[in-house]
Amino acid sequence: MSEANQQGPGPTEIHDPRLRFEFKRAAIWIGMVLLAAGVVVLAGPLMLIAGGMVFAVMLDGGTRLLGRVLPIARGWRLAMVILATFAFLGWVFWWAGTSLAGQFGELRDAVTVQANRLLDWAASSGFFPDADFSMVSGQVVGSVGRVTSILGSAVGGLAAGLMILVIGIFIAAEPRLYDRGIAWMLPTESRSTFYEISDRVGYNLRRLLAGRLVGMAFEGVFTYVMLLIGGVPLAALLGLLTGLLAFIPNIGAIISGLLMVAVGFSAGTEQGLWAIFVYFFVQNVDGYIVIPMIAKKTVDLAPALVLAMQLIMGTLFGFLGLLLADPIVAAIKAALEAYAEEKNEPATETKTPPG
């Protein structure tokens, strides 16, 4: 007996077809109202839950990958992945705190000097009279999106990150438990479809995030090596930031490129030109070689669609929405594709429920 049929009737089980039709129609309108209200009122918690689910997918993907070479119980594999993740994060923070702490100040000063030079040139040309970097940067940060109260301070950001980690660990430990809980609230005939959509979304997200991690590692290491060869200062810091910002397609590359060029010209014209070359070289190699190779194995998303979603999510939910825009687009695309395939299947075809 399939998993969908093993569960008993849920609270939404309605047998009268007329009542079921009216209930569905009312549920659509109520759902739209609740969705609009949730965007306004529950923006912070919703983004934390979404972040936890994305982190759970990453943990689940690592656990499954480890299972290919280490045939032990899933709980032990998940524990190893969690320990490796925390060890890596701890190493990054320790390295950034001990080796790169002073370089962050140098990076800020270099970017500020170069930005003020650019604004002085723009002011002398009549484009932005009486503008300085602090004023412009404040306007840019303010226009990215509203910052929810839970992310309004350093302590709030740390607490939000901890909540994402905890939610992700709980979901990754028993993913089917939460699937069954959601399926129980659906009508019986819709449960098989839900399980298929859930499996498709999880599969695509695992592949997307795995490809994104590979791309981040490539961009970070390659940028560091190239900048080091050209004598550009803060090569290690710029490589680390480039790799981390590569998680955000389109926008992350622009930000890392601006930082790279600003630091390069702070050291001299040759270093600045080399930084420009490194940026375009890395992005072209990544865009024409690495990303297409990864896209064949993962989820291929249209760049314009991702950028539009980033603008919308950044405006609605701030930085966290910008960070999660890509996985959310991939999840929506996978869900719609699975739903369309389910609806287009012949009525006589026997569907295999998820095991």
Work out the percent of the chain whose per-residue pLDDT is above 70: 70
**Three-state secondary-structure class, residue 147:** coil
Mean of the pLDDT values across residues 147-169? 69
Confidence of residue 136 (pLDDT cuts 50, 70, 90): very low
Instruction: List the one residue out of 84, 47, 77 whose CA is nearest residue 60.
Output: 77
- pLDDT higher at 298 or 251: 251
User: Cα–Cα distances in Å, from 301 out to 160, 204, 291?
Assistant: 28, 11, 11
Three-state SS for 73? coil
Tokens of 56: 């759970």
pLDDT of residue 63: 92
Higher pLDDT, 352 or 191: 191
Predicted local confidence at residue 2, as pLDDT:
55
If one counts every other C-beta atom within 10 angstroms of the C-beta of residue 125, the result is 9
Instruction: Give the pLDDT of residue 177.
Output: 87
Q: What single string gives the DSSP state of each residue in 206-250?
A: HHHHHHHHHHHHHHHHHHHHHHHHTT-TTHHHHHHHHHHHTTSTT
b/e string for 146-164 if b means 16 or more Cβ within 10 A? ebbebbeeeeeeeebbebb
The secondary structure of 311-339 as a DSSP string is: HHHHHHHHHHHHHHHHHHHHHHHHHHHHH
Question: Helices 188-229 and 303-344: crossing angle, nearest 10°?
Answer: 150
Tokens found for residue 216: 């981040």
- In this structure, of 54-58, 109-113, 238-242, the range with the lowest mean pLDDT score is 109-113
Q: What is the reported pLDDT for 123?
A: 65
CA distance 238 to 297: 29
Alpha helix stretches (DSSP H) within the chain: 3-6, 17-41, 43-67, 74-98, 101-124, 133-144, 154-173, 175-184, 188-229, 235-245, 251-267, 269-285, 291-297, 303-344
Q: Which of 152-156, 192-196, 278-282, 328-332 has the lowest mean pLDDT?
A: 152-156
> What is the C-alpha separation between 62 and 335, in angstroms, rounded?
22
Residue 15, pLDDT score:
63
Least confident of 53-57, 120-124, 201-205: 120-124
The answer on pLDDT for 79 being more than 90 is yes
Asked whether the predicted pLDDT for residue 292 surpasses 80, the reply is no
Q: How much is the average pLDDT of 70-95? A: 87
Question: What does the pLDDT average to over 231-254?
Answer: 84
Q: Higher model confidence: residue 148 or residue 288?
A: 288
pLDDT digits (tens, 9 = 90+) for 6-61: 665 555 566 667 767 777 778 788 877 777 776 667 777 888 888 899 999 999 99
- 345, pLDDT greater than 80: no
Mean pLDDT lowest for which of 12-16, 176-180, 268-272, 345-349? 345-349
Structure tokens at 328: 């959310």
Percentage of the chain lying above the pLDDT 90 cut: 9
pLDDT of residue 249: 75
